[in-house]
Structures are given as structure tokens and as C-alpha cells.
Structure 1
Amino acid sequence: MPSLDDLKKRIKSVKSTQKITKAMKMVAAAKLRKAQESAEKGRPYSQKMQNIILNLTKSINDPQNAPKLLVGTGEDKKYLCVVLTADRGLCGGFNSNICKLAKTNFKKILGEGKELNIITVGSKGHDQIKREYEKYVIKKFSFKDKKNISFNEADEVGKEIISLFNQNKFDKCIIFYNNFKNVITQIPQAQQIIPAETKNLKENNNENFSYEFEPEEDEILEDLLPKNISTQVFKALLENAASEQGSRMTAMDNATRNAGDLVDKLTIDYNRSRQASITKELIEIISGAESL
């Protein structure tokens, strides 16, 4: 059984840890509100742009002459998977859930005999992915030095994706991230961005427009399509930012309560040990007195 001094040190240590987890919970809660607002404000823009792209895809009559970013290469042999995670830990299962979904897709792609390339965004995801799929990782991004993720970081990832596409490195591109629902729930998502999946188009008749282009269609799409890739990546990063803070807030709340329960248990053990020690000393004193 641990000594009284050991129990006292353990209680002090757990209480110190509890202060840290409580502080981290409060910081995450403060950051969550801003991150959630950014994610919710970004959804309508990214969804509208995605709907325009998808409608354009449906209206194409000659896929051979259509922009490849819009319709793809027509092949299904090479895949690029972009796994977006956090650069920091202590956020529950946030990073693990994304990597778990990504690995499931990796196994399916490789099981079908197709070529796989991986880009990781976030050091925590890279650490998990490289254990099994390091030879497939062709590029890694880390924005640990950035206090807030901006469109510039998303555009950097988007340009890398487009550069690889222009080099015929892949036929389809899928991004993996966590979709923020609420503080408790963050849902891992796999979204194909090249080519855009028409099945994701909202069944809304008001969205099925016939577009007239001014200036020329090719000139607009040349600017719009690369921007859409960066926009979808930016949306995923915003969703991740909110999901990360929500998951960290929940994890730190659980850790704080568990630390409190452990302190209570250790305090009971300490009191019992102290009582047993006092009783033993009294017995020794009484026995010594009676022997005289």
C-alpha cells in the first residue's frame, strides 16, 4: 500500500493536472464560438459554388472537350487522398476518426488494384498515416505556426492538388475531414472534389439553371475551377477547426471530471491510511504503557 507521503504527492499531482485540463477546456470553449461561426458562414458559399460546378457538369454535352478539372480524366485508376487533421493533440478522437475513415478508403483503393497517393495536412494525421502508408505519402503540410487558418493556406493545398492533376498523377481526388455538427458530434467526411460528384447535387429545381457566360465559358471556368478546389479545401479546414475545438472541449471536460473523481478516491485512501497509522501508533503507546 502506498505511504501517506506518496498519496499526498499523487493528490497534489492530479490536482495540478485538473487545473490544466480545466484551463484548456475554457480556452477551447472561447475558441469554439469563433471557429463555429466561421464554419457556418463558409458553408453557404462553398455549397453554392459546388452546386454551380455540379450543374455545369450535368449540362456538358461534349466531355472530351470539357475542362478536365470539371469532368475528370475519364479514368478510375489513380487516386489522390488528402487527409486533413489537426497539428495539435489532446482533442479526443478527432484526429483518429478522420484517419480511420481515410484508412478504410485506402484499403478499398489498394484492394481494387488502383494507384494511391496521399497528401497529409496536419502533423497528427501524418503521424498516424505514416505508420502503415508512409510509402504512399507524397506531400505533407503543417500549419502549426499559423494562429488562424486562412484561405491562403487552403489555396496552397489547392494549388498542389491542381499541379499534381496537371502532371497526370491522379484521376480522382478525395478529401477527408470532420464535419462539425455540434460540440458533442463531429462526423468524418469523405468528399470527392475532382471530378465533382453529381450525386451530391441537391435535389432542388431552383438550382438547375442553364448558365450563359460573359466573357467566354472557357475563360470563366479557367479561373472558377481552381478556385473551387481551394474553396472546398478551405471549407474542410474551417469545419476541422470547429470540430477540433469542440472535441477538445469535450475531452478536457471529461478529463477534468475524471481527475476530480480520482482526487476523491485518493483522498479516501489517504484518510484511511492516515487513520490506520494513527490507530497503530495509539495501540503501540497503550501497549507500552501497560507493559510498565
Structure 2
Amino acid sequence: MANLRAIRLRIRGVKNIAKITRAMEMIAASKMRKAQDRGLAGRPYSQKITAVIAALSARSEGKAGHPLLEQRPVKKVAILHITPDRGLSGGLVGNINRATLAFAIDHKELPLNMIVVGKKGLDFMRRSQRNIVAEFTGLGDKPTLMDTLPISRVIMDDFKSGAVDEVYVAYSQFVSTLVQKPEVVKLLPVEPAQVPPQQNVEYIFEPDAAGVLGSLLPRYIEMKVYHLILESIASEQSARMVAMRNATQNANELVGELTLEYNKARQESITSELLDIVGGVAALA
């Protein structure tokens, strides 16, 4: 009976866990759709400002360059490491941490500054004893551009002052609900995209192309950081939804196995009791 009681308690506990993971899956699905919509809504703006900066760079070539465009010998590198504040998102956090660690190993001959967004990445970098120069946590599931401006300011100020010569971003790119790809991309110095000849439209810039470029480049970095954080949030919620769905399915399968084990144990108990009764009757006879 003790064994049967233990199995019943375990079945009850696994069912409660399945209810919790199912609720977390539904919450993550709702947040994922909202985060995905915000990320997709910012892509047209991102693409357009990239094209405008490419056209401005071509027009202002040969004139005084902007500090954010300055190419110089690389002596020190910074990486913006974007991770969630919470876990329970499958292998998402581990994949981003491994991507950043692989980048650090590839650039081990250079000093590396870490700008960390998210508690999970912060804990990992502290355990790895990396040089953390700035940390940002608690952005939430719906950050605004104003919430991410301090991150952009730290990056641009360090680059302009010469504290670092290149800045990279490690984040999780949202590909689909089932696929989140860890990426390490270069952010600074800005390398304008090449505009195809058929898309090269002659614009009139006031006061001049170089002046407009100088005003747009900081906005471009701010938008880029904000958009990558939105991509990471969409990836986080997608990974959490899939992880909780898998956990619910595993819990339900475990309930089935435990129920079968319980029935077998109960059948054995009944059979043993019947044998005891039959043996007692035979002894009396």
C-alpha cells in the first residue's frame, strides 16, 4: 500500500506540473505574437533608414566623415550581449552564451568589453569572469525606444571616445516560432550598404548630405539596438512557448506511464490478497 500511495502522490504532482506548464505555454504564446508584431513592424523603418544612410554615404564621400563611420586599427572590442531576464526558454540562453564565448575565443588576442542586457547573460559573464563595463536588466516584455536609449548611448560614447574600436552585438534572431538563431553581428563602425544602381535615386539634402548623415547615424544606431532587442524578446517568448509545450507533453506521457505502473501494482496487490484468502481457506479445510 505504501508503494501505491507514493505512485498516487507522484501522479498528482505531475498533473499539477502539467497544468502550470500549459498555462505558461499559453501566456508565452500571447506574448510571442505581440513581440513578433512589434519586431515585424520595425523592419520597414530599419530597411528604409539603411538605404537612406547608404545613399547619404555615397553623396558625402570625400568629405569630413562622421565619428561613427571611422575605421581605425582594432585594439579593443566591445560586444553587446542580449539575453532574457528569465529562464525556462529551452536552449535559447545557452546558445547565445556559447556564440558570445566562441566570439571571445576567436578574439582572445584583443581586450574585450562586455555590455550585458538581461540577467541570464549577466550571470554567465560574471561566472566567466569577463570584463563587464555596463549592465542592463529589467527591460520587460514591452520595452520602448526610450528604455533602450541608455544602451545605445553607452555604445556610441565608448566608440567615439576611442575606448573601443569595434562593437558587435550577440542576440537571438527570430526566424520562426520553432527556429531562433544566435547571431553575432557588427554594429560599429557603421558600414553603409551598397545601393544598386537601379535604386540609386537623386535626392536633394538640406543643408547637405554630410549634415543629414551626421544627424541620422545616431538615430540609426538607436533604432538598430532597439530592433535587435525586440528580435531577442520575440525569440525568447517563442522558445519559452515551445519549451513549455514540450514539458506539458512530457508530463502527460509520464502520467500515462505512472498510471500504468499504478494499475500493475494494484493488480499485484489484489492478486496477493486473493492468494492469501485462498491459502487461508485451504488451510481451514
Shared fold, TM over 0.5: yes
What 5-or-longer segments of structure 2 have no aligned partner? none
Q: Is the 1:55–1:208 contact (alpha carbons within 8 Å) kept by the matching residues of 2?
A: yes
Rate the CA distance shift 1:273–1:248 in 2: closer, same or farther, 3 A.
same
Number of the residue aligned with 1:265: 257
Question: Cα deviations across residues 38-90 of structure 1 (Å, max 9, x unaligned)?
Answer: 11111121122223334444555447x31120x22412121110011111111
Instruction: Give, in angstroms, the shift of residue 218 of structure 1.
Output: 4.8
| Structure 1 unpaired stretches of 5+ | none
Q: Among residues 220, 224, 231, which one is paired with 2:223 in the alignment?
A: 231
Secondary structure of residue in 1 paired with 2:116: strand
Alpha-carbon offset, residue 162 of structure 1: 1.4
In the aligned structure 2, how far is the partner of 1:205 from the partner of 1:186?
34
Q: Deviations 1:92-121 (Å, cap 9, x if unpaired)?
A: 1222222211111111111xx112101110
Equivalent residues in 2 for 1:190-269, closer than 5 Å: 190-198=184-192, 201=193, 204-209=196-201, 212-269=204-261
Q: 2:152 aligned with 1:153, yes or no?
A: no
What SS class does the counterpart of residue 178 from structure 1 fall into? strand
- Counterpart code for 1:116: L
Specify the alignment match of 1:284 in structure 2.
276
Counterpart position of 1:128:
124
Match of 2:6 in 1: 6
State the identity %.
36
If the length of structure 1 is used for normalisation, what is the TM-score? 0.90
Distance in 1, matches of 2:6 and 2:221, equals 57
Distance in 1 (CA, whole Å) between partners of 2:42 and 2:253 is 40
Partner-residue secondary structure (3-state), 1:125: helix
- Larger mean Cα displacement after TM superposition, 50-59 or 123-132: 50-59
1:251 Cα shift? 0.9
Q: Is it true that 1:83 corresponds to 2:85 in the alignment?
A: no
Which stretch shows the higher mean deviation, 35-44 or 158-167?
A: 158-167
* 1:97-154 C-alpha deviation (Å, 9 max, x unpaired): 22211111111111xx11210111011111223222x33111110025x351111122
CA RMSD of aligned residues (A): 2.1
Query: Which TM-score applies when normalising by structure 2?
Result: 0.92
1:173 aligned counterpart, secondary structure = strand
Name the CA distance, whole Å, in 2 between partners of 1:274 and 1:253.
31
Equivalent residue number for residue 44 of structure 2: 44
